């Protein structure tokens, strides 16, 4: 609802604080504490959304939710299994996640497409990129007014391909890494070890239909 990890955590803490502030007799009257907490959490979120939308109206360029990393990918000391997840419970959470557009996650085949995009981007192969992008594809970038990026969505596979290659030309030494972004295959662009962009993709029929590129440094802190 909020699109912000830190705000979501604050809301959960606030809801639990309100629960523990209730007198014991009032807690015992509540038949389902879980339902009560869910309702309170939702109401707090709705209250925050009013002020959040006011802030977003003043936001420079497009606003995108924070991209979330998969903690197991960064835990090289952990004993991850064949799927790369250290705990089976993590797989359940992964399966139930939603992507940056909050639609159902479809992982099948997406990793291969993202890998091909990475390879074409690295080689600055516009023709290959155009072949991987849907003709009506849309790329949205979020710089928050803090870094340079397009302020409006780039529409059309050919235009997106040209833009991606232009970025590669302007940023020598840019390194692309395949990483899980919000539970699905994505790309992380870093330069001199500093994460500059985190991109997630929507794929349909083997082609990329949407790209969400977050460049706002404040939203990239979990990736540091």
* E strands present in 74-214: 133-142, 154-155, 175-181, 184-191, 194-204, 207-214
Model pLDDT, residue 168: 85
> Kind of pairing, strands 207-214 and 194-204?
antiparallel
Model pLDDT, residue 155: 95
Assign 90 a pLDDT band (cuts: 50, 70, 90): very low
Please give the residue that has the higher pLDDT: either 3 or 87. Answer: 3
Binning the chain into helix, strand and coil, the percentages to the nearest 5 are: 45, 20, 35
Model pLDDT, residue 87: 44
pLDDT in tens, 4-30: 777 888 899 999 999 999 999 999 999
pTM of the full structure:
0.65
pLDDT in tens, 180-219: 998 889 999 998 889 999 999 999 999 999 999 999 988 8
Smallest CA-to-CA distance from 125 within 168, 160, 171, 165 is with 165
Model pLDDT, residue 94: 44
pLDDT in tens, 35-84: 999 999 999 998 887 766 656 666 667 788 889 888 776 554 343 433 44
pLDDT in tens, 149-191: 888 899 999 999 999 998 888 888 889 999 999 888 999 999 8
Assign 99 a pLDDT band (cuts: 50, 70, 90): very low
């Amino acid at each position: 609802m909020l699109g912000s990890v830190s705000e979501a955590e604050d809301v959960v803490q606030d809801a639990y604080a309100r629960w523990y502030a209730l007198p014991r007799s009032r807690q015992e009257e509540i038949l389902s504490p879980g339902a009560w907490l869910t309702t309170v959490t939702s109401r707090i979120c709705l209250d925050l959304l009013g002020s959040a939308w006011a802030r977003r109206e003043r936001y420079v360029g497009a606003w995108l939710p924070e991209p979330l990393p998969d903690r197991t990918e960064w835990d090289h000391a952990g004993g991850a299994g064949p799927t790369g997840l250290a705990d089976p419970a993590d797989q359940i959470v992964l399966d139930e996640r939603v992507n940056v557009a909050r639609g159902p996650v479809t992982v099948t085949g997406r990793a291969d497409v993202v890998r091909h995009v990475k390879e074409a981007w690295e080689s600055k192969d516009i023709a290959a990129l155009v072949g991987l992008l849907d003709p009506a594809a849309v790329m949205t970038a979020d710089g928050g007014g803090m870094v340079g990026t397009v302020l409006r969505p780039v529409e059309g596979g050919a235009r997106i391909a040209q833009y991606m290659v232009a970025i590669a030309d302007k940023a020598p030494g840019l390194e692309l890494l395949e990483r899980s972004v919000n539970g699905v295959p994505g790309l992380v662009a870093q330069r001199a070890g500093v994460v500059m962009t985190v991109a997630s993709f929507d794929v349909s029929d083997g082609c990329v239909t949407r790209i969400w590129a977050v460049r706002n440094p404040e939203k990239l802190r979990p990736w540091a």
